[in-house]
Amino acid sequence: MSIRPVHSWREATRVYTQPRVISMLFLGVSAGIPLLLIFSSLSWWLIEAGIERSTVTYFSWAGLAYSFKFVWSPLVERLPVPLLHNRLGHRRSWLLISQLAIMASILVIANSDPQKTISMMALGAVMLGFAAATQDIVIDALRIESAEKEFQAAMSAMYIAGYRVGMLLSGAGALYLASIFEHGTGYHFLSWKYTYMSMSGIMLIGVVTTFLIPEPVSEERHENLLHSSADYFKFLILFCAVTLSFVLAFIYLNPSEAIHSLTSGYQGVHSALISFASGFMRLLVALGVAAMVARFLARSGIVNMSMVSGTYIAPVIDFFKRYSRMAIWVLMLIALYRISDIVLGVISNVFYKEIGFSKEVVAKYAVTLGLFMTLAGGFLGGLLTARFGVLRILLLGAVLSAISNLLFMVLAGVGNNVSWLMVVVTADNLSAGLASAAFIAYLSSLTNISFTAVQYAIFSSLMTLIPKLIGGYSGGMVDEIGYANFFLATALMGIPSILLVLFLMYREKSGAGR
């Protein structure tokens, strides 16, 4: 379960000079650009356009594609891209397709004014989330297949560094560009349109990198591609049908209204919890419908059942066979480890704007300073993980992440204070970078090379599902309980992950790690 520590600091730092490690920097940039264009930069745009805070945080659900990417990760794992597969290879052809889709989705958002066509903007955000999640599937698999486990911590750190540079471009860069393009005070649609068009162009960094890097060689994956074109096409039809059934069920089978009518007398934190519970039930209903459709189509003989079994069932069985009784505890840690910072991150830009910080101040400190602190934390996390092992650094990251959230309570009290903003941003991003580097290395160590894309997609999907579901309600929660109590709640959410890491450390030390 753990990654082998190296024996010297010199050996730990030498891995950063490897070309395959350096390439992760540029792919990280490509992966980091879409994220803030869905979350913080888009949130600022929507707030500036006069959209309600609760509606703004609902837009974060466009990022739920990251949490469900395990559903279509088998397509990415097994389906060859026509025409491009023989020219670029399996991973690079999928990478190029996803990057072009990202650029197109950003342009859809760029041409949508939320005051007039907010539904079109929502569609563009969902498209962007889907395309960006697909790119993540490919990059994660490519990273794991390109190097041995001893290099994974450094590759994770370099990937996070590039990811944060991409976030800098789409975060601070977007805010700076929007302020440059605007004329006078108030809301200006064209300033945001030109900003998002610029972000689409910056994605060419990823496209160029895709053409320059070599295709990783994986004999295990080659064996998985031994199916006919007809089987792959039928598998694609199955995926489209199941996806459509999920979307229609989520839109039209909504129990939320009935639940709210029965609980209309509740207020405060109870109302926030009821909203989350009703939304979660809506999701479960849609998933249930999609599962029934998938089961019906699978049994009807439309698709090759051995292919379906090898695609969805085999990776799960493999994981439970390898980790047996510890599998549930590992999955619980994955589901809860990032909950504190992801839930808080959904509303952070809204918070900064509402307590009086300008776009320029947020770009300079919350995004730019935050980037450098995350880079420092990421490289430190990579080095410490390589030197001392992954679980110890996971514990350190979990503790620091929970504590740093408490500092937001202080900032909520002092208000528009740049000094405190710098303190909070420094602590929050340093701890997040350290925790992320260790956690990505940990997830990488859990995968089997035969099911790289699928298993890693499942892990990373589980990592973000609960936090993003809760994050979508963060605006309503703040309306009910206020910012200070909300930040306290996010800090307390980190306690279960601390306890789980301590438990896994105990099991590993006692020799019962599996």
- Per-residue pLDDT reduced to its tens digit, 42-55: 888 988 888 887 77
What pLDDT score does 3 carry? 45
- Spell out a b/e string for 304-321, using b for 16 or more CB atoms within 10 Å of the CB, else e: beebbebbbebbeebbee
What pLDDT score does 421 carry? 93
pLDDT above 70 covers a percentage of the chain that reads 84
397 pLDDT above the threshold of 70: yes
Structure tokens at 80: 């060859």
> Of 26-30, 230-234, 408-412, which range is least confident?
230-234
505 pLDDT above the threshold of 50: yes
Q: Please answer whether residues 164 and 375 qualify as being in contact, where contact means their C-beta atoms are separated by less than 8 angstroms.
A: yes
Distance CA 24, CA 52 (A): 38
Number of domains in the chain: 2
pTM of this prediction? 0.71
Q: What is the DSSP letter of 469?
A: H
**CATH code for position 181:** 1.20.1250.20
The reply to whether 47 falls in a domain is yes
- Read off the pLDDT of each residue in 209-234 and give the average, rounded to a whole number: 68
Domain that includes residue 288, residue range: 228-303
- Read off the pLDDT of each residue in 357-362 and give the average, rounded to a whole number: 86
Q: Please answer whether residues 91 and 142 qualify as being in contact, where contact means their C-beta atoms are separated by less than 8 angstroms.
A: yes
What pLDDT score does 295 carry? 79
What pLDDT score does 137 carry? 86
- How many Å is the Cα radius of gyration of the chain? 22
CA distances from 137 to 81, 134, 412 (A): 15, 5, 37
Domain boundary among 303, 332, 363: 303
257 pLDDT above the threshold of 60: no
The reply to whether 117 falls in a domain is yes
Q: Are residues 250 and 354 in the same domain?
A: no
* Average pLDDT value for the chain: 81
Q: Are residues 356 and 245 in the same domain?
A: no
479 pLDDT above the threshold of 70: yes
Q: pLDDT tens, 433-474?
A: 898 888 888 888 888 777 776 777 778 778 877 887 777 777
Q: How many CB atoms lie within 10 A of CB 346?
A: 26
393 pLDDT above the threshold of 70: yes
The reply to whether 9 falls in a domain is no
**CA dihedral sign, ordered 200, 206, 212, 215:** negative
The reply to whether 3 falls in a domain is no
Distance CA 270, CA 275 (A): 9
Q: Which residue intervals of 218-267 are DSSP H helices?
A: 219-224, 229-252, 256-262
Q: Which one has a higher pLDDT value, 218 or 31?
A: 31
What pLDDT score does 2 carry? 45
- DSSP-assigned states of every residue in 55-75: HHHHGGGGGGGGGSTTTTHHH
